[in-house]
Amino acid sequence: MQGKHHGEYKVPGGKLVVVDLDVAGGALRGVRVAGDFFLEPDEALDAINGALEGAPSDTDARGLAARIDAALPAGAVLFGFSSEAVGIAVRRAVADAAEWTDFDWQLIHEGPQSPALHMALDEVLTQEVAAGRRQPTLRVWEWDRPAVIIGSFQSLSNEVDPEGAARHGVSVVRRISGGGAMFVEPGNTITYSLCVPDALVQGLSFAESYAYLDDWVLAALGDMGINAWYKPLNDIATDAGKIAGAAQKRVASGAVLHHVTMSYDIDADKMVEVLRIGREKLSDKGTTSAKKRVDPLRRQTGLPRAEVIDRMIASFRSRYGGTDGTVSASELARAQELAAGKFSSPEWLGRVP
């Protein structure tokens, strides 16, 4: 931990905070905070640096923020960032966290695949990133059929109406991450996964990593004229309603799976016939309430689904680079085995009955 450290933190929907520091004798030394944020008065920056000087190097982000808040001059204005954002940047510096641009990103967008195979691909590709055999990967999914994907810890019987699912030809699968049930249809949904080494989220809490890994898509949506923001813990929202939900899984071998399902369009009538929880959570007035709660990208952008995806990928590439990639033959073989076994088994699907 001795020596020079550099950390960066892009505030979701806000500005970049950059911190350079040394660690000596278990304390922060030579702290220099910078960024494209706005700060008044000028001397407030010296106050921030001074507040961090000598702080124990294991102080958490909240503790660092408290030191900053106590030192700021009266009436100081922090715009586009916060004292806690500085604390997070410090924690990332001390942890020598990786940055997005440190990697040769692989960008995968292949043809339609089954729900069980998508679940398996998420597991396999994340394991490959953890093992260092695959570069960090953004994978955009295409669905070959409608599906409900329930969270790892959800009760199958509480979430899904089997008669409604059968009537509409909806497959039901369970993913490896937590969170709530997602109703997807091939032309109405945009789903993607980020498989990243845990070095990218070093210095971030579990909750902070959600916002951090969603920030690029907020920028992509902004480029399409949508004012979107992260809504804790795992939603992406706009003034018109929720447009996406995220879930995460951290694997012990050293990687993070972060996947997001976005609503391009929505058949709310079908959704509340398939999801039991939808009848209570989404509405006390039936599908009218469901439609108000989720506002699709098709209406907000006026763009074809394929163009929304192309613009999202282009935005990611412009920020962080990226090479067009594929799932390798060996990865696909392993995923197909998992899809046919684990993810198609009654034991996995009903592990929480």
**Would you call 36 helix, strand, or coil by DSSP?**
coil
Tell me what pLDDT residue 288 has. Answer: 42
- Candidates 176, 168, 169; CA nearest to 119 is 176
Give average pLDDT by consecutive 10-residue segment, the chain, 353 residues. Answer: 84 93 96 98 97 97 97 97 97 96 97 98 98 97 98 96 96 97 95 97 92 94 93 90 93 94 92 78 43 75 96 97 98 98 98 96
178 with 281, same domain: the answer is yes
Q: Enter the pTM of the model.
A: 0.91
Q: Which residue range(s) make up the domain with 247?
A: 100-349
Is residue 150 within 8 Å of 156, Cβ to Cβ?
A: yes
Is residue 28 within 8 Å of 87, Cβ to Cβ?
A: no
Of the residues 60, 75, 94, the one at which a domain ends:
94
Classify each residue of 107-142 as buried b or exposed e, where b means 16 or more C-beta atoms within 10 Å of its C-beta: bbbeeebbbbbbbbbbbbbbbbbbeeebbbbbbbbe
CATH number at residue 297: 3.30.930.10
Q: Which amino acid is at 106?
A: Q
148 with 269, same domain: the answer is yes
Look at the block and give the residue holding tokens 């004012």.
Answer: 227
31 with 80, same domain: the answer is yes
195 with 51, same domain: the answer is no
The neighbour count for residue 323, using CB atoms within 10 Å, is: 10
Of the residues 94, 118, 147, the one at which a domain ends:
94
86 with 219, same domain: the answer is no
198 with 143, same domain: the answer is yes
Q: How far apart are CA 204 and CA 73, in angstroms?
A: 28
Tell me what pLDDT residue 280 has. Answer: 53
226 with 119, same domain: the answer is yes
Task: Tell me which long-range contacts 57-64 makes (C-beta under 8 A, separation of at least 24).
Answer: 57/1, 57/23, 57/26, 57/27, 57/28, 57/94, 58/26, 60/87, 60/91, 61/87, 61/88, 61/90, 61/91, 61/203, 61/205, 61/208, 62/87, 63/87, 64/90, 64/91
Tell me what pLDDT residue 287 has. Answer: 39
Of the residues 35, 62, 94, the one at which a domain ends:
94
273 with 153, same domain: the answer is yes
**Would you call 346 helix, strand, or coil by DSSP?**
helix
Total domains present in the chain? 2
Look at the block and give the residue holding tokens 């032309």.
Answer: 187
Tell me what pLDDT residue 206 has. Answer: 87
The DSSP code for 67 is H
Tell me what pLDDT residue 3 has. Answer: 66
67 with 106, same domain: the answer is no
CATH number at residue 27: 3.30.390.50
195 with 251, same domain: the answer is yes
Largest Cα span, the chain: 67
Q: Is the peptide bond before 303 cis (omega within 30 degrees of 0)?
A: no
200 with 293, same domain: the answer is yes
165 with 245, same domain: the answer is yes
